[in-house]
Chain A
Amino acid sequence: MKLNVNGRDHDVDAEPDTPLLYVLRDHLELNGAKFGCGLGQCGACTVMVDDEAVFSCLAPILLLDGRRVTTVEGLGSADNPNPLQKAFIDEQAAQCGYCIAGMIMRAQALLKRNPSPSREEIRAALQPNLCRCGTHMRILRAVERAAGRRTAEVTGGAR
């Protein structure tokens, strides 16, 4: 199987029914997409296929021929984060962080089609993704910051 991930073509030796998640994690050794439920209920595995957010745990690789897969690694790095990743750092929008890469990918897909979403539009877009630590308020603020809706300096602490 051929797979285009983060702008690079990969030859993947996996059975065609293998969900994308396992190819990303196990074959390509990418950490961003997380196993959460394998059922499309939590969004921890969210990546972009072309410009759409998809549950990589449900997408068999046989459907991905000729498509572009983007994971959180494809957006930027810890040292050189993209604006959305940087917004998550600025807002300290993580506790355990396990859901965060999936949140970022779903938000990135939203910002692609709607560069200046309202809070309601952000909520609606992120509805498929679960966070158990209760970081939701910070996640909403991070997406708003990336969309240029929040520019105030983050001081943290009491607010």
Chain B
Amino acid sequence: MNVTVNGRPREVSAGATVASVVEMLDVAPGARGVAVALDGEVVTRGRWADTELREGCLVEVVAAIQGG
């Protein structure tokens, strides 16, 4: 299944979830200051594990940085 993660095309296995993408990015479980949007909708942390990706979906994984 082809998806886009943070602007880059990625191939993931069928049944991949938001949690598997986060894991793919080397984010430690429970890492602070991380949030995910799937096709422009926020997926709360509690739903990462059971939110499955769809073919062609856009995943944005964001983290805290200095700014403002």
A and B from one complex: no
Binding site for A on B (CB under 8 A): none
